[in-house]
């Protein structure tokens, strides 16, 4: 089994508030990805270790300290560095990141389910009494159909136009579609965080470590 490095900048606050934030994030990761070998904090030992013997001058140095020192089977570290206050652009990016993560988990399946129900309803309520299956040649009573697939051969009963519409939505709403957008925002956000951290004297914490995957 391998390991993935997962680090985040904790919100501004006391150590107690940072610990509460970490526990909330850890819980969310467990719900979304599970505990064992998930590549998230949920797969590490429970708890958070605050590094108190050094304050790094930049985000990069604090992250490097975690990258070079934390082991995948130990607790995540909270490493202090000279921090900053989120800019308006950073807040906007974080809001968009939260929206995309939420939609990836909950919104995708709902949108696909809603369209599937709509297309199935159009077949069931069609003017013709029967719906023919172009794959197996069966003649099916439309009002008894429960889905848009043939109950005999599992082939789609949708028209070419309707099938293309459903396929297009699935492609657009695929996890890969969201991952590309999420990764791009994370990359831009990380650059802004590093820029702000380099010019600030406020103390913030990088939290994370190597996670079993």
Taking only the tens place, the pLDDT of each residue in 71-109 is 989 999 999 998 776 788 988 999 999 888 887 777 777
pLDDT above 90 (res 66):
yes
- Give the per-residue pLDDT at 142: 82
- Give the per-residue pLDDT at 93: 93
- Give the per-residue pLDDT at 187: 92
Position 20 confidence tier, pLDDT thresholds 50, 70, 90: very high
- Give the per-residue pLDDT at 85: 67
Across the chain, mean pLDDT equals 87
Q: Cα–Cα distance between 135 and 103 in angstroms, integer?
A: 35
Position 128 confidence tier, pLDDT thresholds 50, 70, 90: confident
Give the list of residues 6+ apart from residue 93 with CB closer than 8 angstroms, or none: 185, 188, 189, 192
- Give the per-residue pLDDT at 19: 95
Report the interhelical angle of 175-198 vs 88-102 (nearest 10°): 160
Range name among 21-25, 53-57, 64-68, 103-107 with the lowest pLDDT average: 103-107
How many other CB atoms are there within 10 angstroms of residue 19's CB atom? 17
Taking only the tens place, the pLDDT of each residue in 134-176 is 888 888 888 888 888 888 888 888 888 988 888 888 877 777 8
Range name among 52-56, 145-149, 198-202 with the lowest pLDDT average: 198-202
Note whether 40 and 33 are within 8 A (CB).
yes
Q: DSSP assignment, residue 44? A: S
- Percent of the chain clearing pLDDT 70 (strictly above): 99
Q: Cα–Cα distance between 109 and 127 in angstroms, integer?
A: 30
Give the list of residues 6+ apart from residue 152 with CB closer than 8 angstroms, or none: 133, 136, 138, 140
pTM above 0.85, yes or no: no
* Interval 179-202 mean pLDDT: 84
Q: Cα–Cα distance between 209 and 66 in angstroms, integer?
A: 6
Q: Of 213, 211, 182, 206, nearest to 22 (Cα)?
A: 206
């Amino acid at each position: 089994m391998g390991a993935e490095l997962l680090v985040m900048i904790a919100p501004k606050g006391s150590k107690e508030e940072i610990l509460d934030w970490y526990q909330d994030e850890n819980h969310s990761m467990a719900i979304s990805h599970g505990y064992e070998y998930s590549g998230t904090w949920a797969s590490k030992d429970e708890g958070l270790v605050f590094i108190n013997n050094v304050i790094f001058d930049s985000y990069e140095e604090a992250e490097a300290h975690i990258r070079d020192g934390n082991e995948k089977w130990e607790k995540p570290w909270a490493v202090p560095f000279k921090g900053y206050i989120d800019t308006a652009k950073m807040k906007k990016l974080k809001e968009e990141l939260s929206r995309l993560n939420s939609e990836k988990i909950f919104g995708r399946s709902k949108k696909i389910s809603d369209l599937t129900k709509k297309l199935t309803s159009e077949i069931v309520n069609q003017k013709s009494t029967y719906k023919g299956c172009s794959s197996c040649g069966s003649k099916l009573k439309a009002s008894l159909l429960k889905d848009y697939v043939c109950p005999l051969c599992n082939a789609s009963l949708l028209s070419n136009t309707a099938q293309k519409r459903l396929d297009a939505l699935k492609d657009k709403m695929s996890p890969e579609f969201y991952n590309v957008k999420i990764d791009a925002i994370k990359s831009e956000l990380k650059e802004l965080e590093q820029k702000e951290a380099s010019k600030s004297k406020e103390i913030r914490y990088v939290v994370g470590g190597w996670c079993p995957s």
